[in-house]
Structures are given as structure tokens and as C-alpha cells.
A and B are shown apart, each in its own frame.
Chain A
Amino acid sequence: MGEGLNIVVCIKQVPETTEVQFDEETGRLKREGVAAVINPFDEYAIEEALRLREKHGGAVKVITMGPPWAADALRDAIAMGADEGWLATDRVFGGADTWATSLTLSKCIERMGPCDLIICGLKTTDGDTGQTGPEMAEHLGMAHACYVSEIKEIKDRRVTLRRNLDEGVETLEAPLPLLITVGKDINQPRLATLRGRLKAKKAEIREITNKDLGLDPKEIGLDGSFTRVVKLFEPTVHEAGEVVEGSVDELVDAIMRKLEECKVV
């Protein structure tokens, strides 16, 4: 192992807005014309990796799985300061659920050289599952910690960190290698500099296809996915009740009647 920390950041390109158009006829989402950006949570993951590199030395490698144009997300990460961009792209990777995605990404990471720490955003804004990180940790046989809000110290290959649970904030001590997922309270991501953008433009994006991984096509992509989406539909809207207008006293009367009905006053 070299000096410093070998950090891998997993990112995803997502639609800029979640205001999706929905095609009732085909039951599919209309994705045309929506700009793609780095999943917002992943920017915090990249920032944290850069800060750790500044403190401990080492390298920050960023990986994404997606179509060829997902390379744009990698260039954005390089513009922020990441050292290398890796793109897992192959038709057979497509249509993957979190199981197949995490398997593919973990096999890629094994090929990317030594890895001490993997950082992921705690979820994506499109899929919204938050599962790919912990599933990768399992595939790689690594320990993991979700919802990390602060890395306090890395010393003697042990990490002390704080992470958010529903009931409060836990302090954990974990060994490297480790996978963590981070949220928006961990840092404030930097903006890319002009110099960074120029560097990113020229940077080489390293592609990984299934020729490199040699995975059984039945294990990856749509065929390797255990879950199947069978229906997409718009959320049901609850029936509207009474809507009242009038003087303040009339309005308050209406609320009081409702509260009395519910036996809360």
C-alpha cells in the first residue's frame, strides 16, 4: 500500500429535477430533455474525500456506472479536484437494480487498485433507495457506516466518526477498509475552479466494460436484478373535504368544530 489514503467515491448522474413527466400509455417515465447532474448527495462525498486527501495524502478516484455520457459527471468531479475518473459502461450493465449495481461496482473497485475508504452519498435523488452503498460493502467484505456526519480522526488504520441515527448521534470506531455514506451535514462542497475545469476537460476517463470484469451476464444488469418494476403510477390524491372562507371568527369556528369532532378540545 502506498502513502496516504486510497479513496474511492461512487457517484451517479441523475436528472436535475425530480418533477418527472409520466406517460400513462406506456407506463414509462418521459426522460427526454431533462438535464443530468451529479446526484446532490454525492457532491458531499467528493468533498469529504478531497478534504481527507488534503489531510492524509493519497488519491481520490471517482467511479460511476452508466451510459457513455455519464462521463460528464466524472469530469465534474475531477474539476472539483478528484484525481481519476472511472466509468463502468456496458450495455449488459443496464437495467440493474441495487443488487446488480452494487455487484458490478464492487467488482470494478477491486480492479481500480488499493482501496482504504469508499465514500457514497447516502442516497440518490432518483432511485432514492440508499441501498447500493451498504450492498457494495457486503460484496467487498468491508465494514460500513451509514449517514456519517463527521470524520473525527483516522489513525492507525482506524476511523473515528459520528453518524446520525433516528434517535441521536452515534460515535463509531471502525477499521479500514471501510465504506461510509454521507449526507448534507458533513461539509460544504467546494465549487470547481477554472483550472479544475480545464484539467477535467483534458482528463482521461478510464472505461471498464464487462470484458474487463468477465461477470456472468446473468448476474448483472437487468437479468441479474432480483427486483422487477411491474407498475408505475401517479400517487393518489386524497379526496378534498370542506374548504371554508369568511371572517376570522368564522374560520376559527370551523377549526374548533373539527377539533371537537376529533375530541382533541
Chain B
Amino acid sequence: MSEAPVRVTDGCTGCGACLTACPFGAIEARDGKAFITEACRACGQCVDACPVGAIEVRTSGAVALEDYKGVMVYAEQRKGRVHPVSYELLGKAQELAAQLREPVYAVIVGGGIKAGAEELLRRGADKVFVYDHPALETFRDDPYTDLLAQCCRDERPSIFIIGATSVGRSLGPRVAARLKTGLTADCTSLDIDPETGLLRQTRPAYGGNIMATIITPNGRPQMATVRYKMFPEAKRVEKPRGALVNKAVDMKAIRDRVKVVGFDEAKEEVSITEADIVVSGGLGLGDPKGFQLIKQLADVLGGAVGASRPTVDEGWIDYRHQVGLSGRTVRPQVYVACGISGAVQHQAGMKTSDVIIAVNKDREAPIFKISSLGVVGDLYEVVPRLVERIKESGKSA
């Protein structure tokens, strides 16, 4: 680019705050005002540092779309362990990239993450950009935003997808705003429009009552956060074709305002998003004690306990068990819904399960419309007998 993407307006008072703020030494004082040199990398630090708002990121002119190539996945990690949603995204990214004939990238930020980065190669990334520094071990929005924005500016991917985890949904908007591009939240499906080559981002809206397909025609990268458990994980290959690209990290040039001073890990017997079998209870239990029965069935099957939103709202069970649009999305091999009528909001969180078995007294319950097996009956009769039969089969977990 010939023109600096950052511009100093007439409001500049020549105070010099931006000179010290610039991590790249790209600002000089000329004629008593700030001057942006070629070294500018449009990180935006000066924009924030300027006390009078006299520096702005140049907004005129659309981005040159053809300069952006590659489908990039943000690989979220915690303590070096890559979050499985990243493998799901890598699977999807390979599909999208094949259609576009573009490379697949992953970017990982953390401390001591070499093993994680190598695993990303085995999951099919052509290049893995690695920001590895001890000071980056714990997630913080500030430094992670700086580095991801930097990576996108360096590599210019056409698509950048992020898992819609609690971290991803905090980080994604910050990066998108920094890059001046669109972001679609919490997508459940992604595909490429064969005519325009644009990413079609589909997500539930209005509490799951409506699906919306969204495009980002003029911003790059096209960014989306994507729900966990929507796609199968990328298959593992033993001989990866891709390469690691180690990126320099200069902590002094990175903003880092929020300190993590403590962490209480959630106690979960079996995490519902990871479980192969989920047994869920709804208002049909009639009573919070009903969850003891649900737990018995989950235990003999080696599964986790899920719940519908109304039971959580009633205080019968902790929010962490909630399956549905405002809770977790699960995609187990088998989902057993007991006394759950199956509102669309609940369906949004479980309908991609491989097999759905529903037990409900009401023959007209909507859950039967999406069940592989619908059982019309009283769960207080069916479930205890079922628990016995599984124990008798000698194969209970």
C-alpha cells in the first residue's frame, strides 16, 4: 500500500502521545504535528492514545477483495489443549477452501503451544501461525486481539472463523471492529455461494424461530463465530502436508490492560458438550427430584445430564446442564429427552444428535417430530424399568 492507512487530522495538537504509543516507531513529529510514516501497520494504538481524537484509520475506498485469500481458523486453546471446536472449524475450513481453491490457515496464540500447533497441522491446516510466548499463556482480550488482528493484516485471509465459545464471542467482535469488517454471531452452518464465491453464514435469530443467511460482501476477512458441535471434526492425518510459521511476539508492543487474578474451574461430572450420550429432563419431570431419575439413567449409560430451559429457570438444576439456544449445543451419539416437549429453542441445541429418543406422555409433543424413536408413555414408569433392563444387560457403564 502506498498510502498510510492511518491519518492525522487538523485537530492534532502535537502533544506527542502517539509517538510513544506507536509500537512500530512509525510516527514522527513534523512541523509540530504527528506524521505517519511508511512503517505504519495500522494497529490503531495511536488512535486510542490520542487525547483529542485527531488520528483516524482511513476509511475511504473499499478493500481490494482479490487481495484476500485463504480460510483462517482461530484455534482456541486452554493450558495448551486445543478446544475441539477448532478441529470442527478446520474440517469446515477445508471444505470451504477446496471450493474456493484457497489455502487453509490456523492461528494459535498461547504459551507452550507447540504440541497444539502440530496437532492443527495433522488436522489439515496448510499453515499454522503460532504466537507462542509465556506471557500469553492465559487468554486476555487485549493481547489476543492485537495478535489476531496483526495476523489477519499480515496474511490477508478471505475468511476468518472463530468458535462461538465464551472466549470466541468476546474476542471475535473486538477483532472484527479492529479490522473494520463484518462479523456474524453464532453460526450453525457455513457454505460458499457458487456464483459469487462469498461465504454464506447461517444462524438462528429470534430465539431460534427464524434462520438468517448473512453475507459480508465488502469487508475482509469475512468473519463469523460458529457454534460448537455443529460440524464433525477434521480427520487426523499422520503425515501432514502443512507447515508451522512461528510469529514474533513483542510483549512490549502489545496492549494488556486486564489482569487475570483467579480462576475457579467448573465442577462437571461429565461435560454435556463432550458426552457421547446425553439424558435430559424437562418440565414433564414435575419436580426437581425427577433429575435423580435422569441421573440414574445417565449413569448406567455413562452419559451426562442435560436439562431444558424451563427446569433451569425453575431452579431445579444448574444452568450448566441447560441444552438449547440459550444453553449449550450438544451433538451426542444418543440424546434421550424425558418429559421435554421440544420447543424450537431446545431443538436448536440438540437436533444434530445422531439418534434422538424421546419419552413423553403427550402424543402431540413437538419433540416426536424430530425423534428417531418416540415413546409415548409415563417417564416415571418407563425410565426406572429401562434402568433395570440396562443393568440386567450387564453392559451398563
Contact, CB under 8 Å: B344 / A235: yes
A26 to chain B, nearest CB (A): 13
Write out the residue numbers on chain B whose beta carbons fall within 8 Å of the beta carbon of A193: none
The answer to whether B182 touches A227 (Cβ under 8 A) is yes
Partner pick for A126 among B169, B206, B369, CB 8 A cutoff: B206
Known: A137-B174, A165-B167, A256-B386. A233 touches B215 (CB 8 A): no
Establish whether residues B170 and A144, one from each chain, have CB atoms under 8 Å apart when the complex forms: yes
Q: How far is the CB of A36 from chain B (nearest CB, A)?
A: 14
Q: How many residues of A contact B (CB 8 A)?
A: 78
Residues 106-140 of A at the B interface (beta carbon under 8 Å): 110, 125-135, 137-139
**B206, B261, B356 interface centre (most CB from chain A within 10 Å):** B206
Interchain CA distance A251-B47 in the complex, whole Å: 67
Task: Give chain A residues whose Cβ lies under 8 Å from the Cβ of B177.
Answer: 99, 102, 134-135, 138-139
In the complex, A240→B375 CA distance in Å? 12
Complex-state Cα separation, A60 to B264, whole angstroms: 32
Binds A, one of B86-94, B108-116, B387-395: B387-395
Contact A229:B213 (CB < 8 A) given known A131-B185, A135-B174, A265-B393 = yes
Contact partner, A258, options B142, B319, B344, B373, Cβ 8 Å: B373
B258 lies within 8 A of chain A by Cβ: yes
The one of B200, B205, B257, B357 that contacts A128, using a Cβ cutoff of 8 Å: B205
Binds B, one of A14-22, A66-74, A87-95, A200-208: A14-22
Whether A7 sits at the interface, judged by CB under 8 Å, is no
The secondary structure that dominates the A interface is mixed
Q: Which residues of A contact B173 (CB under 8 A)?
A: 98, 102, 130-135, 138
- A230 cross-chain contacts in B, Cβ below 8 A: 200, 213-215
Chain B residue at minimum C-beta to C-beta distance from A183: B319
The distance in angstroms between the C-alpha atoms of A165 and B205, with both chains bound, is: 23
Q: Knowing A169-B264, A171-B263, A241-B373 are in contact, say whether A226-B216 is a contact too (CB < 8 A).
A: yes
Is B295 part of the binding interface, using a Cβ–Cβ cutoff of 8 Å?
no
Q: Is the CB of A98 within 8 A of B183?
A: yes
Q: In the complex, how many angstroms separate the beta carbon of A67 from the nearest chain B beta carbon?
A: 19
Chain A residues closer than 8 Å to B276, beta-carbon distance: 264
A window 135-192: CB within 8 A of B:
135, 137-139, 141, 143-147, 160, 164-175, 185
Report if B184 contacts A (CB, 8 A): yes
> Which residue on B lies nearest to A239, using beta carbons?
B370
Shortest beta-carbon distance from B93 to chain A in Å = 20
B105 → A minimal CB distance (Å): 21
A213 cross-chain contacts in B, Cβ below 8 A: none
Chain B residues near A143 (CB, 8 Å)?
A: 141-142, 257-258
List of A residues within 8 angstroms of B213 by Cβ: 229-233
Q: Which residue on chain B has the smallest CB distance to residue A97?
A: B182
Q: Determine which residue in B182, B219, B381 has the highest number of CB atoms from chain A within 10 A of its CB, and name it.
A: B182
**B355 touches A (CB below 8 Å):** yes
B372 in contact (CB, < 8 A): yes
A123 to B183, CA, bound (A): 15
Residues of B within 8 A of A171 (CB): 260-264
* B contact residues, total (Cβ < 8 Å): 89
Complex Cα–Cα for A235 and B183 (A) = 21
Considering the complex, give the chain A residue whose CB is closest to the CB of B257: A143
- Neighbouring B residues of A244 by C-beta, 8 Å: 373-376
Q: Does chain B have a CB within 8 A of A198?
A: no
Question: What per-residue 1/0 map shows which CB atoms of B177-212 lie under 8 Å from chain A?
Answer: 110111111100000000000001000111111111
Interface residue A216 (Cβ < 8 Å from any Cβ of B): yes
- Residues on A with C-beta less than 8 A from B264 are 168-169, 171
A265 and B390 form a contact (CB under 8 A): yes
CB interface residues, B 350-397, toward A, < 8 Å:
351, 354-357, 359, 363, 368-377, 381-382, 385-386, 389-390, 393, 395-396
Contacts A20-B210, A29-B210 given; does A164 touch B141 at CB 8 Å: no
Q: Please state if B207 and A255 are interface contacts (CB–CB under 8 Å).
A: no
A125: B residues at CB distance < 8 A: 207
For residue A207, give the distance in angstroms from its CB to the closest CB of chain B: 22
A139 to B180, CA, bound (A): 10
Cα A3 to Cα B184 in complex, Å, equals 40
B150: Cβ under 8 A from any A Cβ: no
Q: Are B333 and A160 in contact (CB under 8 A)?
A: no
A194 at the interface (CB under 8 A from B): no
Q: Is A248 an interface residue (CB 8 A)?
A: yes
Q: Is B266 an interface residue (CB 8 A)?
A: yes
Q: Are B382 and A262 in contact (CB under 8 A)?
A: no
Complex CA–CA separation, A241 to B207 (angstroms): 26
Q: A99-B183, A165-B166, A241-B372 are in contact. List 15 more A-B contacts (CB 8 A).
A: A20-B210, A128-B185, A129-B185, A167-B265, A168-B265, A226-B218, A226-B219, A230-B200, A231-B212, A243-B376, A245-B376, A255-B359, A256-B390, A258-B373, A259-B390
10 pairs from A and B in contact (CB 8 Å cutoff): A129-B186, A143-B258, A144-B141, A144-B170, A165-B167, A230-B214, A235-B347, A244-B376, A251-B382, A264-B277
